[in-house]
Every structure is written in structure tokens, then in C-alpha cells.
Amino acid sequence: MRTFLVETYLSRAHAGDLDDTVARLRAAAEGSVRYLRSTFVPEDETCFHVLEGPSMQAIAVVSERAELSPIRIVEAQEELR
């Protein structure tokens, strides 16, 4: 399975919406896509969602289903320690 990073805008004023966004992502991630985690960077007003799936297209479909407006979706590599 491949890992993807979904970058979205999230203003500091709406940081409380992150729980709702994560819930929508978890609900939308079905079948071959799996939600892993999210990281919010308040200073940059950016949120990074990490998902696992077979393709960038599959991640884009899940993002759309979760009503996200990604700035970008990129494949990522993780080092497990």
C-alpha cells in the first residue's frame, strides 16, 4: 500500500473543525483506502492528512467524498523507527 499526504487549508479560527474533518475522512475512507492521521500546523494554517491507498486517484475520491478542498495530494514516504 502507498502513503499519501493530503494538504488542506485550515484557519486558526476554525481549528476546532479538525475533529469534524477527521470524522468525515474516516467515514469516507472505505475499501482500499485507510485514514492514518492528521497534523495541524496553526502558524501556517495548514493541515496534513496522511492516508494509505492504492493510488492518488483513490485518495482524491476519498477527499472529495469527505468534502475536502485539497491544496495538493502527493505521495509520501515514511520511515518507521
User: What is d(CA 11, CA 21) in angstroms, rounded to the nearest whole number?
Assistant: 13
Q: What DSSP letter does each residue of 23-34 carry, written as one string? A: HHHHHH--TT-E
pLDDT digits (tens, 9 = 90+) for 48-67: 999 999 999 999 999 999 99
**CATH topology for the 2-76 domain:** Alpha-Beta Plaits (3.30.70)
* Contact present, 68 and 4 (Cβ < 8 Å): no
pLDDT tens digits, one per residue of 20-33: 999 999 999 988 99
For the whole model, what pTM was predicted? 0.90
φ and ψ at residue 35, rounded to 5 degrees: -75, 135
